[in-house]
């Protein structure tokens, strides 16, 4: 969704020059916050290693995209549809005016680009498959009758973050407060992977697939000391070595890649007098 990326970059442009921290206004110590929002994501190319009882091969430098849902009131705001778009949930606690600890999840979607041409190395020995053979950096087109590969429900990034907050602006007795937010932290990857490999369908169940870590920078606008509007740019690394690939439980996949995410969130801060 280009509007989300444009909005995130626009708000980030409000960040002033480092070293001009004001730290004015009410103290955030012992305050909680909860935010919900939406993201767009991009991914680096990655090698996908597919392992099964009758195949073991690696696809090199595979390209993928995200899949944000087209905006609609029902899809984005109805509580029964909240997991349909690419979304973010962030719950945190302020230890003081500078530092908070937060946890949550980023619901991204990862879609391998079909019909791209890449190289393959390894072996396929499926009964009746036209793809049987031994490969050594051979060219292959990733047609749908060979492989459809997605983490679309989704690439679920369950994170813990340590954040630094610095307030830059406080207007009209704290009716508008603007802060920068910088954070880092680890994550657990818990995707639902939707795969069709040579007509063998995937299990498409939630599972623990690996780990990640990330850093972020953002801008937070606090209105009347209670209502949050946040824009962030977040970059990180994902390493998944235990992806459940197909309906055969022994089949699995491995991959690792980088991601860059832009998101906008809205929410609330609790505990102000």
Tell me which residue of 118, 4, 104, 16 sits closest to 58, measured CA to CA.
118
| Residues comprising the chain, all counted | 273
**Whole-angstrom distance, CA of residue 191 vs CA of residue 152:** 8
Please, which residues bridge with residue 62 across strands? 46
Instruction: Provide the whole-model pTM.
Output: 0.86
Task: Give the per-residue pLDDT at 28.
Answer: 77
**Whole-angstrom distance, CA of residue 143 vs CA of residue 137:** 17
CATH architecture designation of domain 2-46+69-115+147-270? Beta Barrel (2.40)
Taking the domains of the chain in order of start, what are their residue ranges?
2-46+69-115+147-270
Collapsed DSSP state (helix, strand, coil) of residue 15? coil
Task: Give the per-residue pLDDT at 93.
Answer: 96
Q: How far is CA 121 from CA 57, 134, 168, 239, in A?
A: 5, 8, 54, 21
Task: Give the per-residue pLDDT at 81.
Answer: 61
Q: How far is CA 249 from CA 42, 194, 246, in A?
A: 30, 14, 7
Task: Give the per-residue pLDDT at 209.
Answer: 97
Task: Give the per-residue pLDDT at 1.
Answer: 44
Please, which residues bridge with residue 148 across strands? 196
Mean pLDDT by 10 residues, the chain (273 residues): 45 40 56 94 98 96 91 63 82 94 96 97 93 97 96 95 94 87 98 93 92 97 92 97 91 97 94 59
Rg from Cα positions in the chain: 22
Task: Give the per-residue pLDDT at 213.
Answer: 98
**Whole-angstrom distance, CA of residue 212 vs CA of residue 103:** 14
């Amino acid at each position: 969704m280009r509007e989300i990326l444009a909005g995130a970059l626009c708000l980030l442009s409000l960040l002033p020059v480092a070293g001009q921290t004001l730290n004015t206004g009410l103290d955030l110590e012992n305050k909680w916050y909860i935010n919900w929002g939406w993201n767009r994501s991009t991914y680096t190319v990655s090698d996908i290693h597919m392992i099964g009882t009758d195949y073991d091969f690696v696809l090199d430098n595979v390209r993928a995209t995200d899949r944000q849902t087209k905006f609609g009131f029902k899809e984005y705001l109805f509580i029964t549809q909240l997991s349909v778009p690419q979304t973010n949930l962030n719950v945190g606690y302020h230890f003081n005016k500078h530092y908070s600890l937060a946890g949550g999840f980023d619901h991204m979607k990862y879609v391998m680009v079909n019909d791209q041409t890449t190289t393959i190395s390894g072996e396929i020995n499926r009964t009746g498959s036209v793809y049987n053979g031994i490969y050594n950096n051979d060219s292959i087109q990733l047609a749908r009758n060979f492989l459809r590969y997605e983490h679309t429900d989704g690439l679920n990034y369950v994170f813990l973050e340590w954040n630094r907050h610095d307030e830059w602006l406080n207007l009209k007795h704290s009716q508008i407060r603007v802060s920068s937010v910088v954070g880092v932290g680890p994550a657990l990857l818990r995707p639902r992977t939707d795969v069709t490999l040579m007509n063998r369908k995937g299990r498409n169940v939630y599972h623990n697939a690996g780990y990640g870590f990330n850093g972020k920078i953002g801008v937070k606008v606090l209105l009347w000391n209670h209502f949050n509007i946040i824009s962030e740019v977040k970059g990180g690394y994902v390493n998944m070595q235990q992806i459940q690939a197909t309906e055969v439980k022994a089949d699995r996949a491995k991959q690792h890649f980088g991601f860059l995410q832009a998101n906008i969130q809205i929410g609330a801060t609790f505990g102000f007098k």
